[in-house]
Structure 1
Amino acid sequence: MASPPARAKIPEFPAGPAGRPVPAVGLGTFSCPVAEDDVSAAVLAALELGYRHLDAAAVYGSERAVGEAVAEAARRGAVASREEVFVTTKVWCTQCHPELVLPSLRESLQNLQMEYVDLYLVHWPMAIKPGKPHYPMRREDIMPMDLAGVWRAMEECHRLGLAKMIGVSNFTTRKIKELLAIAKIPPAVNQVELNPSWQQEKLLELCKEKGIHLTAYSPLGGQFGSRVLQSKVLYEIAQARGKSVAQVSTDLSMLLNPSLAIHLISSHNSGS
């Protein structure tokens, strides 16, 4: 019988006022159109390999699969308990209304079969017409966002113990400054696309100054133009160092910023 794969030890970074440890590499579950069973299988495989940070969102439709995978990993002994896994999820734009944030988190927790999430993020700094989370969004559904009201609701999620930390995603420097002007609890994290093609220098500088950890998604490039894997410069560096372009890109992204969310593709290919 083949021995099980060795579990990697992933470094951690401190985040939030209390400096809670967060695994520096997370598995993102933006997986459409991958079937829920495949998402669950891929997440379980990642946990068995040593991943301890899972990144979900209401709009991904992955929360139920993530919860099932964590429960199965605990049953198999791959993790000691749910507390060993750092779980992030996000409120979608359809619920970015003050009265809908807390109900959205409660629904996410029901899907995850968990009593709390470790990190709850505002997915985008915008609101659209209330309804079920969906993507893509229609321009005519975009509404003014009550940032102060939404953030008060996020702070309430934290006070209730349903979210150990709260933060944001896809916030620009301007939006971060607007939020800090009204927040009683500052965001612990801002999750944005960051890679060698999109280095976010000004945002990195501001977040570092304000004690907000910047987490990078799409370290190998995103859907909308940052074609990292096609970079001739990165290819030449990779050839010279005997590495793949993906390895070089990930190394550079970690040098820019010490935490990543690696996007899930399928149970056979979990890096994107």
Structure 2
Amino acid sequence: MCCFSGHVERVADTSIFARSVENGRQILVYAMTISTRTDVAMILPLPVPPGSPEDAVRFISLKEYPDFFKDMKKGFPEPVSRSLMPTKSARPAAVPAAPKLEVVQVGEFEASFGPAVKDFSRLDARFRLPDQTWEQLPAYKDFGFAVFKLKPTATEIHPMAFEFPRVNPRQLFFPTVHIHDGKVHSKATFDHALYCQKRDGEKLSLPEWRESQVTAGQFMKASQAAGVLDGALHCYLKEVRGERKNEDVVL
């Protein structure tokens, strides 16, 4: 799950894929099953360098590959032995209205990128988090955020994908903090499958991750993936289920 601007009845089956690319940037692909009766936005805080421009994030449409994560799951067949399952800022002073953040059509979504928390005021009020929410999350004061506007639905969301610059290009970032109805809790219930790829020479510690037996090109349709994955590399999986500390996953 992630951060939502309003009430959602149910969120489940969250899948996230991350991969480092050139120039210190990272690819992120996100999908979930959601049930909501109102227009809401999914908000993903991102550890971008301070002062990043509004075009720093490149949104990528995977509308033509809705089965991205279904195919990725095929690279990790259930092991025979069930005993080896994976372990579980203050309100700014009044100023003249700033121009709205640019909205990009990405597949079935409208997406925006705000370089800093202060840019939240430039979103439609329906798609903001309350100021007091950010006050509970001081670690995010220098983060940017990607916003995906979702229509009322009770269905599986096709994968959302984008590429962003990282303040620390040696870290792989998974946005997993839960914020629902503007509330932040110390613990949350997770239902996540995290996937990643590791580039040659990249120093990622993956002791609790399962490695695919074959390269991604043998179970993924790389030609439909808009460049978000490398068909010549293996994939890695870590399942995060149940109640745990409410925090992001960083490798």
Superposition TM-score, scaled by structure 2 size? 0.30
Greater helix proportion: 1
Greater strand proportion: 2
Where relative contact order (Cα < 8 A, 6+ residues apart) is larger, the structure is 2
